[in-house]
Structure 1
Amino acid sequence: MNNAGSPLLAGIISQTNLVQAESMLGGDLHSGLLLCPVLEIRYDLFESIQDWPLIAARVRALHPEAKIIGTIRLKRDGGALEDSIVKERLWLWESILSADVVPLWIDLELFALGPE
């Protein structure tokens, strides 16, 4: 059990490692993810935006106890998505958050909440 103020190890979920962990349950990657009480879905590292609403359920199936964070990073923030998509991110979050299984937390920059 984590004590208040104690750091939590977060595993990063990209398209590559999600597919690998799903294909090798009990393998090294999956076992490593199970050690992480927090998993951060980096939606910007997945190719098909249409699949984004389904990703949290896939992650939950791999690690039912994990707290899930969702992140959509632009290039200017160290991510993979073009900066020009900034105005579409709220629509993308609406799509993700309309799913049956959603991240417990979302990671947003302040400017993502309103006009720049």
Structure 2
Amino acid sequence: MFEIALFIVVGIFAGILAGLLGVGGGSIIVPTLFFVFSWLNFPDATNIQMAIATSLACIVITSISSTISHNKKDGVRWDVFIVLSMGIPMGAFIGVNFIYLVSDLLLKLIIAVFIIYVGISSF
């Protein structure tokens, strides 16, 4: 029961930040899920991959909800969306295969560097 409550709180927090910052939740959900999965004694060898995959599944809901809200305020550039969407499936395919080819340590380092970069470039 505690696990369910914890995941609901993480979801609410990620949803709020995704709506405010447009980060899609991944930069919040992945590190949080990694920590929670480790704390719950999930297999260490796959925690980061599971965190990424679970985050992507959650982001579908976050993205749809945020897109609907932003679209009501004319905040979505559908012309840009259509062009960006053309490359996303190939990039997703490459990314999914990449995370299972590299070591956990390298993957954690890539995620950490990316989150730090996003944080610094936001100012």
Is TM-score (shorter-chain normalized) higher than 0.5? Answer: no
With the length of structure 2 as denominator, give the TM-score of the two structures: 0.30
From the two aligned structures, give the one with the greater strand fraction. Answer: 1
